[in-house]
Amino acid sequence: YADCSPAEAAISMGKDPRAGHFPVETIITTFEGRHHEGDHAILNNGFWGAGRFGCSGSDGGTLLRVVYAYDSIREAKHPDGTPIITPQMDHRIVHDLLLAGCDDTENWNEINNKCGPGRALSAAVGILFNRPASMRRAIEGFEALLEKSYHFDGFCEETPGYSTMHLNLMREIPELLFGYSDPEDYKGEPHLKDLNPFQHFDRYRLALESMVRQLDPNLQYPVIGDSRKGSTISPIYAEVLAAHYGNRYAGLLEKIQGTPLSEAGSEYALWHRDPNLMVEHIEELPHRTEWFPGWHVAVLRGGKHSRHTAFYLNGAAFGIHRHYDTLGILYIANGCELVPDRGYIWDDPRNAWTKSTLSHNLVTVDGQGQVGNKTPATLELFGTGPGIEIVQASANPYSQCDLYQRTCVLIQIPDGTYAVDLFRVRGGQQHRYGFHGSGHLTNLSGTALNPSAETIEWLNNIREATPQNPFTATYQDNDHHLDFTLLSPIDRLLVADAPGWRSDSGAELHAPPVQQIMAERTGKPFSHYAAIIAPYAGKRSPIQNMHLHHNPDTGAIGMVVERDGATDYIFSAPNGTHTIGDIALTGTFAFASFDTAKNLQRAYLLDGTTLKCGTQTLTLPQNRTTLRVASVTGRTFYLTENLTEGILPGTYLLAADTGYEIESITKNAITVRDYPAITCNTITLLHAAHWEKTP
At 345-356, the pLDDT tens digits run 988 899 999 999
Cis ω before 18 (30° cut-off from 0): yes
Question: Residue 649's pLDDT is what?
Answer: 65
Secondary element (H or E) of residue 253: helix 250-257
What percent of the chain has pLDDT above 70? Answer: 99
Residue burial 287-309, b: 16+ Cβ < 10 Å; e: rest? bbbbbbbbbbbbbbbbbebbebb
Cis ω before 190 (30° cut-off from 0): yes
Which of 8, 1, 11, 7 shows the shortest CA–CA distance to 42?
A: 1
Residue 61 pLDDT greater than 80, yes or no: yes
Which runs of consecutive H residues, i.e. helices, occur in 129-224?
A: 132-149, 160-170, 172-177, 197-200, 202-213
Residue 342 pLDDT greater than 60, yes or no: yes
Residue burial 454-492, b: 16+ Cβ < 10 Å; e: rest? eeeebbeebbbbebeebbbbbbbbeebbbbbbbbbebeb
Please, which pLDDT band fits residue 58 given cuts at 50, 70 and 90? low
Question: Residue 508's pLDDT is what?
Answer: 87
**How far is it, in rounded angstroms, from Cα 597 to Cα 104?**
77
**How far is it, in rounded angstroms, from Cα 436 to Cα 605?**
31
Cα-flanking dihedrals φ and ψ of residue 509, to 5°? -60, -30
Cα-flanking dihedrals φ and ψ of residue 128, to 5°? -70, -35
Please, which pLDDT band fits residue 648 given cuts at 50, 70 and 90? low
Which of 583, 594, 593 shows the shortest CA–CA distance to 558?
A: 583
pLDDT digits (tens, 9 = 90+) for 363-387: 999 999 999 989 999 999 999 999 9
- Between strands 652-655 and 658-665, the pairing is antiparallel
Residue burial 369-389, b: 16+ Cβ < 10 Å; e: rest? bbeebeebbbbbbbbbbbbbb
Cis ω before 217 (30° cut-off from 0): no
Question: Residue 627's pLDDT is what?
Answer: 95
The residue that leads in pLDDT, 647 or 316, is 316
Cα 240-243-249 angle, rounded to 5 deg: 80
* DSSP 3-state of 343: coil
**How far is it, in rounded angstroms, from Cα 137 to Cα 122?**
7
Contact predicate 427/320, CB 8 Å: no
The residue that leads in pLDDT, 189 or 432, is 432
Please, which pLDDT band fits residue 669 given cuts at 50, 70 and 90? very high
Secondary element (H or E) of residue 561: strand 556-563
Question: Residue 647's pLDDT is what?
Answer: 59
Which of 293, 262, 251, 268 shows the shortest CA–CA distance to 152?
A: 293
Residue 504 pLDDT greater than 90, yes or no: no
Contact predicate 379/606, CB 8 Å: no
Residue 255 pLDDT greater than 60, yes or no: yes
Please, which pLDDT band fits residue 629 given cuts at 50, 70 and 90? very high
Please, which pLDDT band fits residue 14 given cuts at 50, 70 and 90? confident
Contact predicate 213/286, CB 8 Å: yes
Packed helices 236-245 and 202-213: angle between N→C axes, nearest 10 degrees: 140
Residue burial 155-184, b: 16+ Cβ < 10 Å; e: rest? bbbbbbbbbbbbbebbbbbbbbbbebebee
Question: Residue 57's pLDDT is what?
Answer: 57
Which of 333, 295, 321 shows the shortest CA–CA distance to 418?
A: 333
Question: Residue 682's pLDDT is what?
Answer: 98
pLDDT digits (tens, 9 = 90+) for 549-603: 998 888 899 999 999 999 999 999 987 888 888 899 999 999 999 999 999 999 9
User: How many helices, marked H, and strands, marked E, lie in the chain?
Assistant: 14, 34
Amino acid at 340: P
Lowest mean pLDDT among 279-283, 324-328, 449-453: 279-283
HEC letters along 82-119:
CECCCHHHHHHHHHHHHHHHHHHHCCCCCCCCCCHHHH
Residue 124 pLDDT greater than 80, yes or no: yes
pTM for this model (two decimals): 0.95
pLDDT digits (tens, 9 = 90+) for 26-56: 988 888 778 888 899 998 777 777 778 876 5
Distances (CA, A) of 622 to 125, 588, 610, 650, 657: 62, 12, 9, 12, 21
